[in-house]
Structures are given as C-alpha cells and as structure tokens.
Amino acid sequence: MDVVPPLRDLLEEVAEEIARIAQLRGLEVTADRLDALRGAVAPLGLMAMGNPDPVLYLCSLEPGGGKTLAVTSFARVLARRTDLRDVGMVVCLSSKDAIREFVAALDLPSSLGVLTGDPLVNKLAGIRPIAAQILATTQQFLGAMAQSSQPFSKMEAYWFKGYPRQVRGWDEGHLPRQPVTLDHYAIASLPRLFWRASREWSSAGR
C-alpha cells in the first residue's frame, strides 16, 4: 500500500506503540510480524485521515497474531495525537468480557466510553459514550440498534462531536448480512405469487 507522509507517520507511531506494549508484556514481535500489524491498522489510519473507502477491510492474521494489540495501540496513538482529537473511533467487540479486556488493555479512562445494554459494563469507562473519543461496544448491541433499519451513520448514540465516528473497527468475526430462510410451505407458494404478479404486469402493460 502506497501511503502519504501523514499516514506513514501515523502508522510508524502505531508500530512503535505496538513494540513498546509488547515489550512491557514480555511478548516477542519480529520485524515481519510488526510489518504485518502495521498493514493491519493501515485501513484505520485511512479512516482517521478522512479517506475511508466504502468497502470492508479484512485482516486475516491468525488468532493470537496481535490484531487486538494493534487495535488498542492504534486507539492509544489516536487519543494522544492533537491533530486527530476530533476523530472518533468505535470498536465493536464480541462480548462484554472482551469489553472488559479492551478497557484494561487500553487504560485510557479520560478518552474511552463504553456503550452496551448493561449499565454495569458501561460504568467501566471514565466518561459518557457520546463524549468519548474512543468508544467500545458489543457487536450484539450494535446489531440490536440496527434492527430499526437505520444505517450506522444515522445512529446518534455512536456519534462523536456531532458526527458519525470516522474510524470503525470490528474485532473477530463479522457477519455483514443476516441469513434469510424459507420453509417448504413458503417455497410451495412461490409459483402462485409469480403467476399473480405476471397477470398484474400483463394487465398494466395493455
């Protein structure tokens, strides 16, 4: 990926943060692994710079490969960059336990908010969700919010400083669509529906 200088600087700062945290935790991160993690957070950097493509980015690193470390390191760098203080980030996690681990790993009470259906879990954060630059939520809660058929950009509960959050991360599994199933009774009724529709279309065309 060819990157512009501001993005390159941001990614280098994130890579340094990854290496620093890994050293504190006694983890070994090779140069190749660090380069892979830098690439993993590059889409987040693009979003932060205001250049998000309307696509999904998939990081295919194996479990335990450092993806969560990379995301938390990116969030820490984002929170301390004065030139990005108006850029909001939301991280969708798989469970409330994952929220607890994320809060502990990030250790940014003045910048982190939590938005779930559990008031006790929400209290793990230092500030209200709408005021937090970094917002952690569960995939289940976001899914429940989305049942209203509103696009994410219209969900004001996830906004930051009056706008949808630019940086959006989904940790672990992702289901971009919900499955739709038909039982055999519904399938058996399809010919009648098609026949009725064809008659209406034929009448409309006369």
Query: What are the pLDDT digits (tens) for 58-96?
Result: 777 777 778 888 999 999 999 999 999 999 999 999 899
Q: Which residues pair with 113 in a beta bridge?
A: 135
Amino acid, res. 50:
G
Contacts of residue 124, Cβ cutoff 8 Å, sequence gap at least 6: 99, 100, 103, 114
pLDDT bracket for residue 199 (50, 70, 90):
low
Contacts of residue 75, Cβ cutoff 8 Å, sequence gap at least 6: 89, 91, 106, 108, 134
Amino acid, res. 95:
S
Phi–psi pair at 74, nearest 5 degrees: -60, -45
The reported pTM is: 0.77
Query: What are the pLDDT digits (tens) for 158-171?
Result: 999 999 999 998 87
